[in-house]
Amino acid sequence: MSDFVVVGLGNPGLQYILTRHNIGFLFLDKFIKRYPPVSTVEKKEYVSYTLQTEGMIFHLIRPLTFMNLSGRIFDSLKVTDTILLVHDDLDLPLGRLRIRSNGSSGGHKGVKSIMSVLGTKEIPRIRVGIGPKTLDAVDFVLSEFSNEELRIIDEIVDICVDATIAIAKDGITTAMNRFNSTKVI
């Protein structure tokens, strides 16, 4: 049975729960709701949820650092396998997702922090659209979704769970071909 590590990016704290920057945490919540963990481990800088589905073991990681310091989790989280990041993306419209096998941070400070600590841009990820931004970028990512936007986010995050399982089972190229044209309106 294979293990698969997924890091959902967000900010800890009640005031950030439904903000645009917390897509990764909303994804983790959806995954855990669908597939309840068999174990949960709390560390100083992250919480790890272990669950089994589709013949695989998934380790879902929720950083407890703030977004810009997400890379710090790897000081205590020793990962030898490839990780998958799930995070928000200002450059994608709301209701879209993009799977990438590698590349730059695209200005996302949480991704940049992880790349810096791991010393590579070769990090697969699912980028979830939160754009187009209507305010200053910092104000925008920390703003909350409207009720209509939350409906769209709930649906796209559900699809992200399916995409994660597809990446783990079938590989990133197959998942990209299947999910990169997904659009929820």
Q: Which of 21, 59, 87, 108 is catalytic?
A: 21
User: Annotated catalytic, 87?
Assistant: no
Neighbours of 141 (CB within 10 A): 23
- Catalytic residue positions, numbered: 21
